[in-house]
Amino acid sequence: MKLSMKSRYGLRALIDLTINSKTEQVALNSIAERNKISPQYLEQVFASLRKAGIVKSIKGSQGGYFLSRPPQEITVSSIIEALEGDYRIEDEELPQEGKYTGSVKAIQKLVIDRVNDSVTEILQSVTLHDLEKEYQEYIDYGQDMYYI
Protein backbone atom coordinates (compact mmCIF):
# COMPACT_ATOMS: atom_id res chain seq x y z
CA MET A 1 0.00 0.00 0.00
CA LYS A 2 1.29 3.43 -0.87
CA LEU A 3 -0.26 6.70 0.27
CA SER A 4 -1.16 8.86 -2.69
CA MET A 5 -0.02 12.44 -3.01
CA LYS A 6 -3.59 13.52 -2.27
CA SER A 7 -3.57 11.66 1.07
CA ARG A 8 -0.10 12.88 2.02
CA TYR A 9 -0.97 16.49 1.19
CA GLY A 10 -4.29 16.12 2.99
CA LEU A 11 -2.62 14.83 6.15
CA ARG A 12 0.03 17.58 6.07
CA ALA A 13 -2.61 20.26 5.55
CA LEU A 14 -4.79 18.88 8.35
CA ILE A 15 -1.86 18.87 10.79
CA ASP A 16 -1.30 22.52 9.84
CA LEU A 17 -5.00 23.28 10.26
CA THR A 18 -5.08 21.55 13.66
CA ILE A 19 -2.19 23.67 14.91
CA ASN A 20 -3.33 26.98 13.43
CA SER A 21 -7.11 26.87 13.87
CA LYS A 22 -7.30 26.72 17.66
CA THR A 23 -8.83 30.21 17.89
CA GLU A 24 -10.06 31.00 14.38
CA GLN A 25 -10.50 29.59 10.90
CA VAL A 26 -7.47 29.38 8.62
CA ALA A 27 -7.26 30.57 5.01
CA LEU A 28 -6.50 27.80 2.55
CA ASN A 29 -3.83 29.94 0.86
CA SER A 30 -1.88 30.20 4.13
CA ILE A 31 -1.97 26.42 4.58
CA ALA A 32 -0.86 25.96 0.97
CA GLU A 33 1.98 28.46 1.37
CA ARG A 34 3.31 26.97 4.62
CA ASN A 35 3.24 23.46 3.15
CA LYS A 36 4.36 24.35 -0.38
CA ILE A 37 1.23 22.84 -1.93
CA SER A 38 -0.64 24.29 -4.90
CA PRO A 39 -3.69 26.21 -3.58
CA GLN A 40 -5.78 24.87 -6.47
CA TYR A 41 -4.86 21.29 -5.65
CA LEU A 42 -5.42 21.87 -1.95
CA GLU A 43 -8.90 23.22 -2.71
CA GLN A 44 -9.75 19.88 -4.33
CA VAL A 45 -8.40 18.04 -1.29
CA PHE A 46 -10.42 20.21 1.10
CA ALA A 47 -13.57 19.79 -1.00
CA SER A 48 -13.36 16.04 -0.30
CA LEU A 49 -12.63 16.64 3.38
CA ARG A 50 -15.56 19.06 3.63
CA LYS A 51 -17.89 16.59 1.92
CA ALA A 52 -16.82 13.90 4.42
CA GLY A 53 -17.53 16.22 7.35
CA ILE A 54 -13.91 16.44 8.52
CA VAL A 55 -13.59 20.20 7.98
CA LYS A 56 -16.02 23.09 7.72
CA SER A 57 -15.56 26.38 5.94
CA ILE A 58 -16.63 29.97 6.29
CA LYS A 59 -16.89 31.98 3.09
CA GLY A 60 -15.89 35.59 2.63
CA SER A 61 -12.84 37.78 3.04
CA GLN A 62 -12.36 36.66 6.65
CA GLY A 63 -13.29 33.08 5.82
CA GLY A 64 -11.31 29.91 6.02
CA TYR A 65 -11.37 26.34 7.27
CA PHE A 66 -11.57 24.72 10.68
CA LEU A 67 -11.96 21.16 11.96
CA SER A 68 -15.56 20.01 12.30
CA ARG A 69 -14.80 18.12 15.53
CA PRO A 70 -11.89 17.73 17.97
CA PRO A 71 -8.69 16.30 16.47
CA GLN A 72 -8.85 13.41 18.97
CA GLU A 73 -11.98 12.21 17.13
CA ILE A 74 -10.58 12.36 13.58
CA THR A 75 -8.69 9.22 12.59
CA VAL A 76 -6.17 8.83 9.80
CA SER A 77 -8.48 6.11 8.50
CA SER A 78 -11.38 8.55 8.09
CA ILE A 79 -9.11 11.07 6.36
CA ILE A 80 -7.74 8.57 3.86
CA GLU A 81 -11.23 7.17 3.21
CA ALA A 82 -12.46 10.71 2.52
CA LEU A 83 -9.64 11.34 0.06
CA GLU A 84 -9.17 7.92 -1.54
CA GLY A 85 -12.22 5.82 -0.85
CA ASP A 86 -11.41 2.27 0.22
CA TYR A 87 -7.71 1.99 1.06
CA ARG A 88 -7.65 -1.78 1.50
CA ILE A 89 -5.52 -3.81 -0.89
CA GLU A 90 -7.26 -6.38 -3.04
CA ASP A 91 -6.06 -9.54 -4.65
CA GLU A 92 -5.97 -8.80 -8.36
CA GLU A 93 -6.44 -12.44 -9.26
CA LEU A 94 -10.10 -13.39 -9.24
CA PRO A 95 -10.80 -17.05 -8.52
CA GLN A 96 -11.94 -18.92 -11.60
CA GLU A 97 -14.24 -21.90 -11.35
CA GLY A 98 -12.07 -24.93 -10.58
CA LYS A 99 -8.77 -23.16 -11.26
CA TYR A 100 -6.42 -22.10 -8.43
CA THR A 101 -9.41 -21.52 -6.17
CA GLY A 102 -7.76 -23.06 -3.11
CA SER A 103 -4.47 -21.21 -3.50
CA VAL A 104 -6.19 -17.92 -4.28
CA LYS A 105 -8.35 -18.29 -1.16
CA ALA A 106 -5.29 -19.19 0.93
CA ILE A 107 -3.43 -16.09 -0.25
CA GLN A 108 -6.50 -13.95 0.37
CA LYS A 109 -7.02 -15.31 3.89
CA LEU A 110 -3.44 -15.58 5.15
CA VAL A 111 -1.85 -12.60 3.43
CA ILE A 112 -4.20 -10.01 2.01
CA ASP A 113 -6.87 -10.12 4.72
CA ARG A 114 -4.24 -10.01 7.48
CA VAL A 115 -2.41 -7.08 5.88
CA ASN A 116 -5.70 -5.23 5.51
CA ASP A 117 -6.66 -5.93 9.12
CA SER A 118 -3.29 -4.65 10.37
CA VAL A 119 -3.38 -1.53 8.20
CA THR A 120 -6.95 -0.78 9.27
CA GLU A 121 -6.07 -1.24 12.95
CA ILE A 122 -3.16 1.20 12.69
CA LEU A 123 -5.02 3.82 10.65
CA GLN A 124 -8.01 3.70 13.00
CA SER A 125 -5.80 4.04 16.08
CA VAL A 126 -3.90 7.15 14.95
CA THR A 127 -5.74 10.46 15.25
CA LEU A 128 -5.08 13.95 14.01
CA HIS A 129 -4.25 14.83 17.62
CA ASP A 130 -1.54 12.12 17.63
CA LEU A 131 -0.05 13.53 14.43
CA GLU A 132 -0.11 17.05 15.86
CA LYS A 133 1.68 15.90 19.04
CA GLU A 134 4.31 14.02 17.06
CA TYR A 135 4.85 17.04 14.81
CA GLN A 136 5.20 19.36 17.83
CA GLU A 137 7.70 16.99 19.48
CA TYR A 138 9.73 16.91 16.28
CA ILE A 139 9.70 20.71 16.01
CA ASP A 140 10.59 21.15 19.69
CA TYR A 141 13.42 18.65 19.36
CA GLY A 142 14.85 20.48 16.36
CA GLN A 143 14.81 23.82 18.17
CA ASP A 144 16.96 22.49 21.01
CA MET A 145 19.79 21.46 18.71
CA TYR A 146 22.98 23.49 18.98
CA TYR A 147 25.78 23.12 16.50
CA ILE A 148 29.40 24.09 17.07
95 to each of 51, 65, 101, 104, 115, how far by Cα in Å? 36, 46, 5, 6, 19
Cα 22 from chain centroid?
19
* Rounded Cα distance, 92 and 108, in Å: 10
Band of residue 108 on the pLDDT scale cut at 50, 70, 90? confident
Q: What is the pLDDT of residues 28-71, one digit of tens each?
A: 999 999 999 999 999 999 999 999 999 999 998 889 999 999 99
Q: Is residue 83 classed exposed, middle or buried when 0-12, 13-18 and 19+ CB atoms within 10 A define those classes?
A: buried
Band of residue 99 on the pLDDT scale cut at 50, 70, 90? low
Can you list the domains of the chain with their CATH numbers? 5-143 (1.10.10.10)
Judged against a pLDDT cut of 60, whether residue 146 lies above it is answered with no
* Rounded Cα distance, 114 and 116, in Å: 5
**Bridge partners of 55?**
67
